[in-house]
Structure 1
Amino acid sequence: MSKYDKLFEKITLGNGTAVQNRFMLAPMCDDSSNGGKVTDQQVEYLRIRAANVGVADTGYAYVNDSGIQIQGQLSAAHDDDIPGLTKLAAAMKAGGAKAILQFSHAGRDAMGSQKYGNRVYAPSKVDFPWVHYDFDEMSQADIEQVLDDYKNATRRAIEAGFDGIEIHNCNHDLLQQFFSTYSNRRTDKWGGSLEKRMAFPLAVLKSLKEAVAEADKSDFIIGWRISPEERHGDSVGYDVDDMIAQTKEVLKVGIDYLNLSLNLAAGYNNAKRPDYNAVPVGHTKRFATIFRELAGNVPVYVGTNIFTADQAMDAVDDEKGESGVYVGREMLIDPEFVLKIKENREDEIVRTTTIQHLKDVKLPDGFVDNYADTDGSTRSVSYRKGIPLPGLD
């Protein structure tokens, strides 16, 4: 017996699928693809990190050529992506994990699309101080096309053998842009009231479920990743109560797990990043508790700043039901993080790193460039300075 046994209990997703433990490999921004195509480095990177978790997420894969966050991002936008995605899914599933392909559309922040010369668009044409290129306000035809693109990307994930998909509805991507009062100034059925601002994320979810139904894949997993609030100092795109309202509607449509990203939560722009214990403004319970009580039997994964076995345990220990924990940056440094906890070797978990170590543990070159200081003396993995990338932890 170990005090960490709870972390290795099986949990059941919303569609009845059992996963082998409470750990999730967090979706992180691996910008190492070759023009969107899967590389051998990506396959090996995910194979060794998915080996011991219950659920393993890829980084953000774009669903069309106008939604590319950055060059090197993984693609699920074309049928000729399927062979590479098939190799990736098989590698991720080899150790018993459920392999999840995360979908994203960068909207106005599609810097990669702009550099490729592709059209960029957003819910509203607003002057965002960090966007230094032109973009369009989406027409009804654009919206319908994006919904179709999400549906087709889901079909490709199914054909490639993934166990499920996760929708990136967080960290300033297109879905969150529609939900945010800061980003969405529309006056049609896609903007204005809270109900209208949540209409696009809900339409995306319904399009995915149509693809799953058409493929007759009742065991196919749909995950939903959210920023529970959008705060930047005094600027509030939406608060946690708004996201609670959206999540209630999402749960009615049906998801199989909920994944909380806290990067935009209160305190993000202060000295300390929020972690799994963060409590929203005006509330007494932490984000994890609020959404786990709301979700009922649908598992809710939390993480952010999980570097030790005790932190992983704390993320789920006071929660009842099907709670889970995701691990991001620590799994980049030590792919055997979960295995070492299982084998009571938590004192062997690697906490510091160098450029050479990252290469030794099969971190793809693009990942090393994105997240590590490149002077050869890296002591921790961090954000690339000046560029707000989604998905890290």
Structure 2
Amino acid sequence: MTESKALSALTLGNGVQVANRLMMSAMCDLGGTPDGQVTQEQIDFMQARAGFGALLVTAAAYPQPNAKGLPGQYSVANDADVAGLSRLAAAMKSRGAKAILQIAHSGREAAIPAQQGLRVVAPSKMTFPWIKYPIAEMTAADVDELIADYGKATQRAIDAGFDGVEIHNCNHDLLQQFFSAYSNHRSDQWGGSFEKRAALPLAVLKELHRVITAANKPEFIVGWRISPEEVHGETVGYTVDDMLKQTKLVLAAGIDYLNLSLTGLEYRYDSKPAGHAHTFAQLFHAIMPANVPLYIGSQVHTPADVDAALADADGVYMAREALVDPEFTDKLKAGRTADIITTMSEARLKQVHLPKALAEEYATPGGFREQIPLVGLPN
């Protein structure tokens, strides 16, 4: 029996080698305290999945108090957060995986901070039909503070023992909002032309490198997660060609892996953008330096899916399958592919160490059960 390519080692952009090509990608685990502290539920969740991939990525951690997008997120906005994050990192690294802290600012989508009376910010002050709370346009000082706070969050990740960070430049978060021509109508250095709309993600990346260099941590991993397009019917924030251009600038500035976020039920790992003969994975893989791997995912649930995804990428990320069967990779290594479980059940929800709030979200019709469905659980 031929061993899956997924189990072969992979070298990242900074020369760090990881044991296999599988990644457990970031998921909303909903398990943190209201003030963003790590709970034992979250530690148990990660401990149970410590062998799932060579790279394990946390749920999004917010770098500023007004950046929280969902209940139960971690905070990395304060030095006091480091102690809990250290326990989380230790659990993730307990079987040799590299622990990656994802950092994300939700920008205009910060409904929870809005309820708390915090100032919710966006690149431009405009009306978003689905948002019912006030949004402030970021000042130049706000942008400078944001860049600095990404750097501080990275230092806290280092202090907590993480092996790297992943910057969330996707799924309509603040960095994507700045790149989007739909949501960024600024006329200063942070908006207008393509180059100015791309400036904030690049400034954040530059600050990360400054912090990592100052900490003398050349082995610290910088991951980068993107949405390859922002197209919603007639509303176009940017096209895949725009993001390919931005990604070339990011690659020149230096990242250690690229994670192509294809979220939503309309996408698969082999989806093609409109008007293109090649898949998203093929288009981005074509611009990658030989030493910087591309991770692809979405609708990857079985070993066959993994092998198919690796035809056009260097690594594969999985999220929902990590919920269903935390032992996926152990079984793959042992040649026990017939034992891999790809279907969730009501009973199994209670057996796989999910934080209580996440289990309840999937146990109840609607919510995640409908938006991010698990095979086996009817909507």
TM superposition score category, shorter chain reference: over 0.9
Aligned residues: 370
1:179-328 to structure 2, matched below 5 A, reads 179-263=179-263, 273-296=266-289, 297-319=291-313, 323-328=314-319
**Match for residue 328 of structure 2 among 333, 337, 359:** 337
Query: 1:359 maps to which residue?
Result: 350
Distance, in Å, in 2 between the alignment partners of 1:382 and 1:42 is 23
The one-letter amino acid paired with 2:266 is: R
Q: What letter is aligned with 1:315?
A: A
**Residue matched to 1:117:** 117
Distance 2:319 2:93 in 1: 18
Partner of 1:350: 341
Compared with structure 1, are the counterparts of its residues 381 and 350 closer, same or farther at alpha carbon in structure 2 (3 Å cutoff)? farther
Pair 1:383 & 2:371 matched: yes
Return the alpha-carbon distance in structure 1 between the equivalents of residues 70 and 112 of structure 2: 4
Q: Decide whether the 8 Å contact of 1:257 with 1:301 is kept in 2.
A: yes
1:52–1:95 CA contact under 8 A, matched in 2 = no
Amino acid at match of 1:7: A
Name the CA distance, whole Å, in 2 between partners of 1:31 and 1:384: 14
List gaps (5 residues or longer) in structure 2.
374-379
Cα RMSD (Å): 1.6
TM-score by length of 1: 0.91
> Which residue identity lines up with residue 176 of structure 2 in the other structure?
Q
Percent identical residues? 49
Deviations along 1:194-238, one digit per CA (max 9) or x if unpaired, are: 000000111111111111111110000000000010111121110
**Could you say which residue in structure 2 is the equivalent of 1:146?**
146
Match of 2:163 in 1: 163
CA contact (8 A) 1:329 1:381 kept: no
Per the normalisation by structure 2, the TM-score is 0.94
Cross-structure match for 2:103: 103
Q: Which amino acid aligns with 1:337?
A: F
What stretches of structure 1 of length at least 5 have no aligned partner?
Answer: 386-393
Following TM superposition, by how much is the alpha carbon of 1:341 offset from its aligned partner in structure 2, in angstroms?
1.6
> Which residue in the other structure is 2:377 paired with?
none
TM-superposition CA deviations, 1:86-105 (whole Å, max 9, x none): 00001101111110000000
Residue by residue over 1:259-287, the C-alpha shift from the partner in whole angstroms, topping out at 9 and shown as x without a partner, is 00112xxxx5xxx5210001112221111
- CA shift for structure 1 position 384: 6.7
Deviations 1:45-83 (A, max 9, x none): 011213241100001100000111023211111111101
- Please give the secondary structure, in 1, of the residue aligned with 2:259: strand
Shift of residue 318, structure 1, vs aligned partner: 4.8
Match of 1:374 in 2: 364
CA deviation map 1:315-342 (0-9, x unaligned): 00355xxx00001111101111111122
